Amino acid sequence: MSSHPWKLGGVGGAESALSHQTAAFLHGLDGFTKEPPKVVELTVPASRRFVAPGVRLHRTVEEAVPTEVVRSLRVTSLARTLFDLSTVLTPGRLEVALDSARRGRSLLPDELKAYLATLKARRHGACRLGELLAVRDSPVDSALEVEFLQEVARRGLPAPVAGYSVFIEKRFIMKVDCAWVQQKVAAHLDSYRYHHHRERFERDARQRSLLAGAKWHSVAITHRALKGQEWSDTLKRLLLP
């Protein structure tokens, strides 16, 4: 982002801030990290009048939009960024962004609730974010796991326990991504970025062997396989009567 012309205190004025999907990229939220957005989004006071090439303006009547400094750029705060995203993203993408934000900032739920309380109840985005916070007690470890939980619900499978630590005879074996404890079924969400390291690959293989020895069933799911049918058919056979 070093080539961005919108440096702190730049063209938008002191009350402006990079926002929406541009802010999501700068905050490093899942779903926005691969490449900089082609169009820069900037939130400015409603009274501000100017035109800048390659910039999408969002006008606000709020006296002061909460901001942070990220990579020497003034951006909307994480809470405000999530609210802005809630007005433009599908529920699935919003949940992925919210979950990644929570992994990086443990106090975010309190910050977000405090900010949403300042908004008028009629604002739809505030309701959507509030509902997501209420449903998810804690964040999971990756965007793939969020998408998996969404697919589990969509396909009518029982809800698992996320991030379950398996002990066998009081000995810790491993933390599985999702587990159906009573049926002793574990789902492993395998992303290439994490598992292409040999040490991690060998460790996971060893731990899954221990699970199998304790009569746990393991189902491995990659991002590419998630939209297919095979994994959910396997889980249905293991979980449903």
Predicted local confidence at residue 137, as pLDDT: 56
Higher pLDDT, 191 or 195: 191
Predicted local confidence at residue 2, as pLDDT: 40
Is 49's pLDDT higher than 60?
yes
Q: Are 51 and 12 in contact (CB under 8 A)?
A: no
Predicted local confidence at residue 8, as pLDDT: 41
Give this prediction's pTM: 0.62
Tokens at 180, concatenated: 């159906």
**How does residue 182 score in pLDDT terms, banded at 50, 70 and 90?**
very high
Architecture of domain 143-239: 3-Layer(aba) Sandwich (3.40)
The Cα 179–Cα 201 span in angstroms is 20
Average pLDDT of the residues in 131-160: 78
Is 6's pLDDT higher than 70?
no
Predicted local confidence at residue 3, as pLDDT: 46
Higher pLDDT, 45 or 104: 45
Please state the domain extents for the chain: 17-135, 143-239
What average pLDDT is seen over the chain?
81
pLDDT digits (tens, 9 = 90+) for 75-87: 999 999 999 998 8
* Interior angle at CA 98, CA 97 and CA 101, nearest 5: 85
The Cα 80–Cα 67 span in angstroms is 8
